[in-house]
Amino acid sequence: MSKYILAIDQGTTSSRAIIYNPVLQAVACAQQELPLSYPQSGWVEQNAAQIWQSVTASISRALQQAKLKPADIAGIGITNQRETTLLWHKTTGKVLYPAIVWQDRRTAAQCQQLKESGLEPMLQQKTGLVADPYFSVTKLCWLLDNVAGARQDANAGELCFGTIDCYLLWQLSGGKVHATDASNASRTMLFNIHRQQWDEELLQMFNIPAAVLPHVLDNATEFGLTDKAVFGAAVPLLSMIGDQQAALLGQACINPGMSKSTYGTGCFAVVNTGSKVLHSKHKLLSTVAWRLNGNTTYALEGSIFMAGATVQWLRDKLGIIRQASDTEALAAGIDYQQTELLIPAFTGLGTPHWQPQVKAALFGMTRDSGRAQIAAAALRSVAYQSRDLLSGMRQDGINVSCLRVDGGMTANRWFLQALADLCQIPIARCHTTDATALGAAFLVALQLGYVSSLAEINNIWRSDWQLQPELAPPLADALYQRWQRATAALMALDMDIVQQQ
């Protein structure tokens, strides 16, 4: 009898397939990196065919590793990079334009117009989100207005809009299912998180034909079956959930007030707020954590666009490291008094600033500045940004007493100590860097009856590293104040440049 669970983790820079046994132990894992393209300044795109190929290749290798056949899989879960936007034909499945990635800034002017028109408070009240190019709706507007024939075909009901979860479901089902889940829907800026449905007023405001939208389902339910010609067997698709919400579950943050921070391409700190929508006064995002059996759990989120992506910049653009792990040894000898300070606004600034047009800067260089200093400044920039998020949560009345962390950057113990020091908070690293995939797999296990309740995630989660702050609080505060001054100066400088253009 089929008993294994397949979790598909489709991220910004790679796709992963992990196979779990019935007690949610990973028995095989395969991964394939994905390229990003930057056709213009501020534009970030991906090839949809490459995304799909990377997923199928990862699945095949994982099955080979585990010596399993597709029919040995009892259920599939999907977790994904959120907000990345695609548009394709219903009949042919042909994608009209490359995927516009969540980091893309091309719609910054439209978002600024929303703010200047006084519409942001209404958007935030309905969707929990701020007017920023990060979210899907303005990307969809751009596609409809700039791809030849797209608006006409959309109005005729011939096109499908979807985020990556939706696109993978469409592909795996052989084009039979056009659906998304509540967590991904809540990141589009078209979904009313209170009423749990697409918002008609927002559809009219953004001129989006309802026919392009997917059905919104719970995070654990019967989404459909894989097509035998595509997957090799008819296997139930039983969970879909956005990557940060999946990590919140994989980190066993199932009670209000529990929080995690994932360090992947970006960094996302999320705190469970239970059955209540908490609207932030400090530009954190209100979002759906998960919806199960029609009952919604909400979360508050802070978003950083450049975390592991900053380390990739060191590797791919500066060439000062060969692999991400090299940063740990490089940074080890650089103390907190370094003058170099990197603000990695390569794709603008997220929480709490939401400034899409700001550009990155490296301050405080001297003749002694070199590979080691820049590597240390890059890692510490992620810690400083994390403090931005935690400070906003505290100001909104949430006291985060311990931060559970996961993601690729958490393999770097030097970085985790910097995180504990600069944020002045204990850090507990998840026993697996794949907490995101674990969250999606756990929802499949819930559907299959392998577990009976969310509370059973506590039997699986454990921490393998715990770090305490070692830096004196006054010094940590002084360093953070310098970060805040530099960020404010950079935003002011870039605002002057924008106004002069």
Q: Which amino acid does the sequence have at 365?
A: M
Strands (E), 376-419: 403-406
Which residues pair with residue 339 across a beta bridge? none
SS3 359: coil
Of 190, 201, 181, nearest to 245 by C-alpha is 181
CA distance 466 to 488: 33
With helix as H, strand as E and coil as C, how does 274-319 read?
ECCCCCCCCCCEEEEEEEECCEEEEEEEEEECCCHHHHHHHHHHHC
Number of other CB atoms surrounding residue 199 within 10 Å? 19
The token pair that represents 310 in the structure block: 């900053």
DSSP state of 193: T
Q: Identify the sign of the CA torsion 195, 199, 202, 206.
A: positive
- What pLDDT tens digit does each residue of the chain (501 aa) get? 579 999 999 999 899 999 999 999 999 999 999 999 999 988 999 999 999 999 999 999 999 999 999 999 999 999 999 999 999 999 999 999 999 999 999 999 999 999 999 999 999 999 999 999 999 999 999 999 999 999 999 999 999 999 999 999 999 999 999 999 999 999 999 999 999 999 999 999 999 999 999 999 999 999 999 999 999 999 999 999 999 999 999 999 999 989 999 898 889 899 999 999 988 888 899 999 999 999 999 999 998 888 999 999 999 999 999 999 999 999 998 999 999 999 999 988 888 888 888 899 999 999 999 999 999 999 999 999 999 999 999 888 888 889 999 888 999 999 999 999 999 999 999 888 788 999 999 999 999 999 999 999 999 999 999 999 999 999 999 999 999 999 999 998 865 554 544
> Per the omega criterion (within 30 degrees of 0), is the bond before 35 cis?
no
- Kindly list the strands in the beta sheet with 403-406, ordered across the sheet, starting from the edge strand earlier in the chain: 285-292, 295-304, 267-274, 259-263, 403-406, 427-430, 463-467
Q: Which two tokens stand for residue 466?
A: 């715990």
pLDDT of residue 495: 59
Nearest 5°: phi and psi at 154? Answer: -65, -45
Place of tokens 């030849």: 148
pLDDT at 401: 87
How far is it, in rounded angstroms, from Cα 79 to Cα 12? 12
Whether residue 422 contacts residue 414, with contact meaning beta carbons closer than 8 Å, is answered with no
Q: Which long-range contacts (CB under 8 A, 24 or more apart) does 140-144 make?
A: 140/85, 140/87, 140/188, 140/206, 140/208, 140/212, 141/107, 141/110, 141/206, 141/207, 141/208, 142/100, 142/106, 142/107, 142/110, 143/85, 143/87, 143/96, 143/97, 143/100, 144/87, 144/207, 144/208
Q: For residues 271 and 351, is the Cβ–Cβ distance under 8 A?
A: no
> Which residue type, as a one-letter code, is found at position 420?
A
pLDDT in the model for residue 499: 52
Is 311 within 8 Å of 319 (Cβ atoms)? no
SS3 470: coil
SS3 for 22? coil
